[in-house]
Amino acid sequence: MNNLVITSGNRTQLPEALRLVRQLAAFENEEDAVTASIEDYQQAFDDDLFEYLVALEQGVVVGTMIYYYTWSTWKGKMMYLEDFVVDESQRRKGIGGCLMNQLQRVAEENNCKLIKWQVLDWNDTGIKFYEKMGNAVFDKKWWDVKVYLR
């Protein structure tokens, strides 16, 4: 991990971010649910709809966190972490912790009151990771509600 660099992702790294998102979807048994194309990613990135961090090991993207800013009517400005994935071959090396630390720094620098994300109830490894953070709060009172338009 001596060569690990955590930095903001750029447009040219979007295919690697999408590759990792697809890897995450496969882990979640939802491979067919990823319908966004690289063109969708590029357009959304160009429109400033999201930002992302990449973990680079010797220049190769081995992890990503895709996030965007939003508003909590109860707390104020917040960050929503949409996807957090470390390449399957690179897990358990501390990369996830480095990404999470950087994400928290970015949120603080941007005056966010909180960071919010989801974890599947069966993802024991993810849950343990978040528990070890020491400051993550699991809110099991709220249910996700979605309306798919297309």
Where the chain has pLDDT below 70, the residues are 1
**Whether residue 130 lies in the annotated active site:** yes
So what's the pLDDT on residue 150? 78
Domain segments of the chain: what residues? 4-133
Question: Which CATH superfamily includes the segment(s) 4-133?
Answer: Gcn5-related N-acetyltransferase (GNAT) (3.40.630.30)
Residues paired with residue 81 on neighbouring β-strands, in sequence order: 67
- The whole-model pTM stands at 0.94
So what's the pLDDT on residue 117? 97
CB 71 within 8 A of CB 23: no
State how far the Cα of 63 lies from the Cα of 93, in Å rounded to an integer: 11
Q: Active site residue: 52, 80, 130, 148, which one?
A: 130
> For the segment 4-18, what is each residue's pLDDT rounded down to a tens digit?
999 999 999 999 999
State how far the Cα of 46 lies from the Cα of 127, in Å rounded to an integer: 33
